[in-house]
Structure 1
Amino acid sequence: MDEGVTAVRRQFPAKIKAIDDLSARSEDFREICRDFADAQSALQKWKVSTDPKRDERVVEYQELIAELSKEIARALEGSVPPIAR
């Protein structure tokens, strides 16, 4: 399984089926998932960094992760088929 999809599955455990379904058919969604995983990885590196810009970068990556999480949530909401009436 793609590392990005795995990271998103950990973030949204209640949506695993929708994540798997959407990732199977959408390269764009898989790319967002990869970006999400990359941002999480970078955040962890900056959290332990001694670089003077550490705090600034931590905030930037936290914001990026929050935005990607929203984008992923919107994509997952849009992937749910409408309820049959």
Structure 2
Amino acid sequence: MDEGVTAVRRQFPARIKAIDDLSARSEDFREICRDFADAQSALQKWNVSTDLKRDERVVEYQELIAELSKEIEGALDASVPPTAR
């Protein structure tokens, strides 16, 4: 399984079926998932960094992860037929 999809499954465990369904048919969604995983990885690195820009970068990656989370949720919501909601 794609590392990005795995990261999104961990973030949204209640939506695993929808994540699997959408990732199976959408390269765009898989790309968002990869971006999400990359941002999480970068945040982990900055969290332990001693660089002077650490705090600034941590905030930036937290904001990016929040934005990507909203984008992922929107894509998942849009992928569910109205009658199934």
TM-score (norm 2): 0.97
Deviations 1:20-59 (A, max 9, x none): 0000000000000000000000000000000000000000
Distance 1:84 1:5, change over 3 A: closer
Deviations 1:40-85 (A, max 9, x none): 0000000000000000000000000000000000000000012179
Alignment partner of 2:83: what SS? Answer: coil
Distance 1:72 1:50, change over 3 A: same
Superposed CA RMSD:
1.5
50-59 or 75-84: bigger deviation: 75-84
Structure 1: unaligned runs, 5 residues or longer: none
Distance 1:55 1:43 in 2: 10
Alignment partner of 1:52: what SS? Answer: coil
Distance 1:48 1:19, change over 3 A: same
Distance 1:59 1:84, change over 3 A: closer
Structure 2: unaligned runs, 5 residues or longer: none
Distance 1:84 1:45 in 2: 40
Aligned residue pairs total 85
Instruction: Note the 1:28-39 alignment, pairs <5 A.
Output: 28-39=28-39
Distance 1:6 1:84, change over 3 A: closer
